[in-house]
Amino acid sequence: MQIKRQLPDNVAELQAMLFAQFAAFDELKHEHETLKSSKLDDKEEIKRLNLLLDKLKRMLFGQKSEKLIAQVNQLELEIEELEINQGIRASIIETKADAP
């Protein structure tokens, strides 16, 4: 029995070893809780940053989409104006052609 050879024979030394083990256990437990809390904080920060990233992407692509929609509307207006002007010119040409 190798363990028996490592343990002291007197009670005071055994108690000291046991208290040292308890202290080491408490220290490890505290370290574990700290790491666990840190991990949770990291997960929350990752979640917050992902939400912020999604928001920024929506803002970025939303603005581009709005710009594109505005450009499309502007082009539609220009086409409509050109069609109106083309109709007016055609009407003027017909009027001149009908005049004696």
Percent of the chain with pLDDT over 90: 25
**What pLDDT, on a 0 to 100 scale, did the predictor assign at position 14?**
92
**What pLDDT, on a 0 to 100 scale, did the predictor assign at position 1?**
42
Handedness of CA 16, 21, 27, 29 (dihedral sign): negative
Is the confidence at residue 89, as pLDDT, over 70? Answer: yes
Is the confidence at residue 26, as pLDDT, over 80? Answer: yes
Is the confidence at residue 2, as pLDDT, over 60? Answer: no
**What pLDDT, on a 0 to 100 scale, did the predictor assign at position 5?**
65
Domain ranges of the chain: 2-98
Handedness of CA 55, 57, 60, 62 (dihedral sign): negative
7 CB-near residues (< 8 Å, 6+ apart):
14, 17
Tell me the mean pLDDT in the region 27-52.
Answer: 90
CB atoms within 10 A of CB 87: 10
